[in-house]
Chain A
Amino acid sequence: MIEEFIFTNLPALMVAVPLLAAFVCPLVAQISPAMRKMWVMGSMAITSLLGLLLVMRVYTMGTFVYVFGASTPGLSIPLDSGGIPIRIVFTVDAMSAFMDLIIAIVGFCVILYSLSSDERRTSPQYYYTLFLLLIAAVIGMVSTGDLFNFFVFIEISSLASAGLVAYSVEKGRAVEAGLKYFMVSALGGIFLLFVIGILYGQYDALNIAMIAQRMQFTMLDKIALVLLVAALAAKCGAVPMHFWTPDAYSLAPSSVTAMLVVASQASLYGLFRFTFTMYHLSLNYVTIGWTIIVLGVLSMVIGVTMAIPQKDVKRLMAYHAISQTGYMLLGVGVGLAVLGNETAINSFGTIAMEGGIFHIINHALYKGLLFLTAGAIIYRIGTRDLNRMGGLGHSMKYTMIFFIIGSLAIAGIPPFNGFASKLLIYESVYLFNPFLAIIAMVVSILTLASFVKVFHSIFMGPPLPEFASVREVPLPMLLGMGILATLVILFGVFPQTVVNLIVAPAVHALIDQSGYISAILGGA
């Protein structure tokens, strides 16, 4: 009975559990801090478990359509509605399930880590309210099949993450970072609402599948597309709208930064979902594909060149995050640029997209790991300045090992996961345009150079007298980092299994527009 209830309502529960837990958290915290910790950890564990169940179901049984308020959960078009899906529909296809998997894994590790790392914060109950709200919003963003619902969730995620970025005021600097991030997000949200108005005015529908089916690609749709790409590229931190990223990533608490990486990727998911599923072949895919490629290449190059001279460890990593987002844009952009070309998409377009999508999960894992190690170092020594660090390898051995794993993965060194996805991107992009592949490789080398420098200045050298009392971080933090590090290695050792199991279905779900439409509207 209860099993059946859980299985039929999985997508709704995925959002409902963290949302409810978020607002009950301050009440539970009244009892005792230990209860608060158990509540937060327990609700996140349940969310992750539900996420894994949902992912398994979607990969074995196909797209999961959940309709809110319908007499049966799969009934997307009520009989008396005249063929329009008027209710809010959650459409969890393989691509959404892929993103849910990322959120389930990273969310669990990050909350586990933050139990120790954030216990010294003032009023932690509100901190966790925002944190769980962010997780609920990101899950909603990737699950929903409704345009306006996507807008609502993206606004919730902006509100929650702006609050989290500014949480540790830090003499106003964190608030400044939060303000920059929130202004960009609020403007992006307004653009998105404008797009919704344009599309609803033309097609009388808010459901993505319905709009996709009726898409005419008029002049208005082109304006809508430009606004969409601008808003979502700004939210995912691609150059030239990247200026908020280093500020927000470096001043947010480290556990939040790791989650912000995932939140940015949810915006990236939105970008891919709308271009591939909603517009598909009707858009001028060569132009849009090249736009995304150019954004990607710019992000890669500018991100890594800005990262090299940084003195602040988290700011440096934030610039690398911009640079890595470029790889995803490059891979998927190549796939989009050859979308209408049957031979090209079969020979290298799909592989490029597999590389780009695979890089999303790899990036979430290793970048999350790197931000958590940076947070562990800051937790113990209290400074972010690379010039004041040194010799920590003597006292923080595990953190050092996790840092090595993360930095080798981001630089694309085998056998770590970054290598697997970057190799897919190099191979396929080389067939598309050799010049782009060479840029991608050069960026990778620069990344390695930058991380060698960071590693040297943090961990190498004789033990410094001012850090004599530094010890290893507490167990929950080590566990959180350990899970991510294990997955980084596993994904790097068995890349083919991962690609076949979870990445290829996700890519197929993006390319196959008619499958998405027929899952909701039936027939087609």
Chain B
Amino acid sequence: MLWNLPFIAVVLLTAIGISIILLKKNLVKIFMGLNVLTSAVNLFIIAVGYREGGIAPIFTNAPSPVMVMPTPQALCLTSIVIGVATTAVLLAFAMLLYRMYGTNDVEAIRELRG
């Protein structure tokens, strides 16, 4: 049970993230939901990549030649960087929309239909 704790957290975070995106009306809150979802996936990748007693691949310092490949951590770092860029662009959009429409409510920003 305790082993599955990170995965339970992933499921909870995913549920929270998706429900925020679907239920909230404010753009900034929707972006926060998106970030929660990204964190869920990052946590999932890190949890999948965890090996108990694994040795970090610092070759000069490793006590044994068997080490853990740091791919999941590398993936996670890349994904965090991409997440930052995504959030920056989204917030820039929210700012522009607020300037143009005077609101950040998704139900009011509905010029494009049909």
- Contact check, B112 vs A173: say whether CB atoms are below 8 A apart: yes
Distance of A200 Cα from B37 Cα, bound (Å): 19
Interfacial residues of chain B within 41-59, with CB under 8 A of chain A in the complex: 41, 44-45, 48-49
**B34 at the binding interface (Cβ < 8 Å):** yes
**B32 at the binding interface (Cβ < 8 Å):** no
- Contact check, B85 vs A179: say whether CB atoms are below 8 A apart: no
B84 smallest CB distance to A (angstroms): 11
Stretch from A161-169, A382-390, A398-406, A435-443 contacting the other chain: A161-169
**A349 at the binding interface (Cβ < 8 Å):** no
**B79 at the binding interface (Cβ < 8 Å):** yes
Distance of A172 Cα from B78 Cα, bound (Å): 31
B12 smallest CB distance to A (angstroms): 15
- Contact check, B89 vs A190: say whether CB atoms are below 8 A apart: no
Interfacial residues of chain B within 73-89, with CB under 8 A of chain A in the complex: 75, 78-79, 82, 85-86, 89
Given contacts A152-B82, A189-B82, A194-B44, contact A175 B93 (CB under 8 A): yes
- The bracket for how many chain B residues form the interface is 20 to 34
Distance of A86 Cα from B71 Cα, bound (Å): 9
Given contacts A152-B78, A173-B111, contact A178 B41 (CB under 8 A): no
- Contact check, A193 vs B79: say whether CB atoms are below 8 A apart: yes
- Taken residue by residue from 351 to 385, chain A's Cβ proximity to chain B (1 for < 8 Å, 0 otherwise) reads as 00000000000000000000000000000000000
Report the nearest B residue to A155, measured CB to CB: B82
**B109 at the binding interface (Cβ < 8 Å):** yes
**A197 at the binding interface (Cβ < 8 Å):** yes
- Contact check, B71 vs A190: say whether CB atoms are below 8 A apart: no
**A247 at the binding interface (Cβ < 8 Å):** yes
- Contact check, A155 vs B86: say whether CB atoms are below 8 A apart: yes
CB contacts (< 8 Å) of B69 on chain A: these are: 86
Distance of A183 Cα from B82 Cα, bound (Å): 14
CB contacts (< 8 Å) of B89 on chain A: these are: 159, 162-163, 182
CB contacts (< 8 Å) of B100 on chain A: these are: 169, 171-172, 175
In the complex, how many residues of chain A place their beta carbon closer than 8 angstroms to a beta carbon of chain B?
A: 38
**B90 at the binding interface (Cβ < 8 Å):** yes
Distance of A388 Cα from B96 Cα, bound (Å): 29
Contact of A193 among B41, B97, B112 (CB under 8 A): B41
B16 smallest CB distance to A (angstroms): 14
- Contact check, B82 vs A176: say whether CB atoms are below 8 A apart: no
B85 smallest CB distance to A (angstroms): 6
A144 smallest CB distance to B (angstroms): 14
Most buried by B among A175, A246, A306: A175
- Contact check, B97 vs A172: say whether CB atoms are below 8 A apart: yes
B62 smallest CB distance to A (angstroms): 15
- Contact check, A179 vs B93: say whether CB atoms are below 8 A apart: yes
Distance of A206 Cα from B48 Cα, bound (Å): 14
Distance of A196 Cα from B27 Cα, bound (Å): 28
- Contact check, B111 vs A148: say whether CB atoms are below 8 A apart: no
- Contact check, A190 vs B96: say whether CB atoms are below 8 A apart: no
CB contacts (< 8 Å) of A178 on chain B: these are: 93
**A271 at the binding interface (Cβ < 8 Å):** no
CB contacts (< 8 Å) of B49 on chain A: these are: 200-201
**A294 at the binding interface (Cβ < 8 Å):** no
CB contacts (< 8 Å) of B21 on chain A: these are: 187
- Contact check, B86 vs A159: say whether CB atoms are below 8 A apart: yes
B37 smallest CB distance to A (angstroms): 5
Distance of A173 Cα from B110 Cα, bound (Å): 9
**A186 at the binding interface (Cβ < 8 Å):** yes
B56 smallest CB distance to A (angstroms): 17
B14 smallest CB distance to A (angstroms): 9
Distance of A178 Cα from B93 Cα, bound (Å): 8
Given contacts A152-B78, A179-B90, A206-B71, contact A197 B97 (CB under 8 A): no
- Contact check, B96 vs A169: say whether CB atoms are below 8 A apart: yes
CB contacts (< 8 Å) of B90 on chain A: these are: 179, 182-183, 186
CB contacts (< 8 Å) of B30 on chain A: these are: 183
CB contacts (< 8 Å) of B79 on chain A: these are: 193
- Contact check, A190 vs B78: say whether CB atoms are below 8 A apart: no
**A177 at the binding interface (Cβ < 8 Å):** yes
CB contacts (< 8 Å) of A159 on chain B: these are: 85-86, 89
- Contact check, B37 vs A190: say whether CB atoms are below 8 A apart: yes
Given contacts A152-B82, A193-B41, contact A201 B48 (CB under 8 A): yes
Chain A: residues with CB nearer than 8 A to chain B?
86, 148, 152, 155, 158-159, 162-163, 166, 169, 171-173, 175-180, 182-183, 186-187, 189-190, 193-194, 196-197, 200-201, 206, 246-247, 251, 306, 309-310
14 contacts between A and B (CB under 8 A): A155-B85, A158-B86, A159-B86, A159-B89, A162-B89, A169-B100, A172-B111, A175-B97, A180-B112, A200-B48, A200-B71, A200-B72, A246-B112, A310-B114
Chain B: residues with CB nearer than 8 A to chain A?
21, 27, 30, 34, 37-38, 41, 44-45, 48-49, 69, 71-72, 75, 78-79, 82, 85-86, 89-90, 93-94, 96-97, 99-101, 109, 111-112, 114
Counting from the closest, the 8 A-B pairs by CB-CB distance are A172-B100, A201-B48, A197-B45, A247-B112, A179-B93, A175-B96, A155-B82, A193-B41
Q: Known contacts A182-B93, A193-B41, A194-B41; can you find 13 more A-B pairs with CB under 8 A?
A: A152-B78, A152-B82, A166-B93, A166-B96, A169-B100, A172-B96, A173-B112, A175-B93, A193-B79, A196-B45, A197-B41, A200-B71, A247-B112
